Amino acid sequence: MSSPVSSRRSFLQLAGTGLALSGIGLAPASTAPAATSSVVLPTRSAPAGSVLLNFNESPYGPAPAAQAAARDIVAGSGRYLFALAGELRDTFARQEGVDKDRVRLFPGSSEPLNRAAVVWTSPTAGLVVADPTFESLSDLAAARGATVAKVPLRADGGHDVHAMVEAAQRMGAGLLYLCNPNNPTGSITPAADIAWLLAHKPKQTRLLVDEAYLQFSAQPSVIAQVMQRDDLIVLRTFSKLYGMAGLRLGVAAAHPDRLRELASLGDNPLPVTALAAGLASLREPGLVAQRREQNTRIRQATVAWLEARGFRCLPSEANCFMVDVQRDGSAFTKAMAERGVVIGRSWPIWPQVVRVSVGTEAEMAAFRTAFENVVAADR
């Protein structure tokens, strides 16, 4: 059954971002977002006791030190505690080797993504994205009348940077979006390909690199390049590896002029609980390496199990992967949910391929049992 609120892609949610959609022209039919396949019920509607492998959330939640920091600061949260945001920004900047004036905090990474659509796309400045990829940016850009060019991923799951540059040149794109590792595939676009893209894209086209899942991978970040370039924006989030999806904390790194453009749509103090938890997470030694190893081990074991049974998976270095279930993806996700395991959805370009988030070892054991049962029932 389709649900209109099953992911951040919902138009109603875009309308609730505070980035006014009233009074704007809708995209022409040829450039409007394509109808998506049926998706699973949202987390809050899943039956009690269900295993939730649908939203790429961390099954472990915030680190113990982050939980303690969030609890401890509640007593003082009657004050704005503005200095805490500066402390977190400075700590992040120091760890990443960038100047603090090139870092700005947001409530998650969806907020700067939505702002980027408003600031850098329009009916005369299009957007280039991969297909499939995370859709909130393209949905909002299309709703504002921007032409959205969707470039299919390569067979290995990487972004086809040559085709993306051609599309950007052809349409006079204002923005090019690259998610690395990509959501929903978890696949990697090598640093050399991103360097080529930066060297060959149109001068007026901004490149937004979404590194929400980078900490699950050993791939290098491009964040240091914001010190030399004024056309690159890099996003990070605390929602994934740090397990803070519900606390809402993210970071944009870019030239100060680009950060001012993002901030031109308004500002608001961040919750001190999120700031305290984020700061504690950055200061937790070994947390990233420990969670990366844990996620990699469980993901690889699950993928190996699926492929041993003839179900192809795309290469992934994130906390999700895509598997070809060899039948209608939306019907498969529904059948899995009926067996107590809520997985992700399929995308229009790949209707038989579904996304699965990586859970704990116990959760992935439940996934394997439900998967076997659905396949057996369909024979």
List pLDDT tens digits, range 96-120.
Answer: 999 999 999 999 999 999 999 999 9
List pLDDT tens digits, range 209-221.
Answer: 999 999 999 999 9
List pLDDT tens digits, range 114-125.
Answer: 999 999 999 999
pLDDT of 164 over the 70 cut: yes
CB 346 within 8 A of CB 356: no
Let me know the angle formed at the C-alpha of 55 by 49 and 58, rounded to the nearest 5 degrees: 75
* pLDDT at residue 127, as a whole number: 98
Which CATH number does 64-282 carry? 3.40.640.10
pTM: 0.89
E strand intervals along the chain: 51-53, 103-106, 127-131, 148-152, 175-179, 206-210, 232-237, 250-254, 320-324, 341-343, 346-347, 350-357
CATH 3.90.1150.10 at 29-56+288-377, yes or no: yes
List pLDDT tens digits, range 272-321.
Answer: 999 999 999 999 999 999 999 999 999 999 999 999 999 999 999 999 99
pLDDT of 23 over the 60 cut: no
Domain residue ranges of the chain, discontinuous segments joined by +: 29-56+288-377, 64-282
pLDDT band at 16 (very low <50, low <70, confident <90, very high): very low
pLDDT of 33 over the 70 cut: no
Neighbours of 191 (CB within 10 A): 13
* pLDDT at residue 14, as a whole number: 40
pLDDT of 184 over the 80 cut: yes
Query: Which residue's entry shows tokens 């994205």?
Result: 129
Let me know the angle formed at the C-alpha of 364 by 358 and 367, rounded to the nearest 5 degrees: 110
List pLDDT tens digits, range 43-52.
Answer: 445 678 899 9
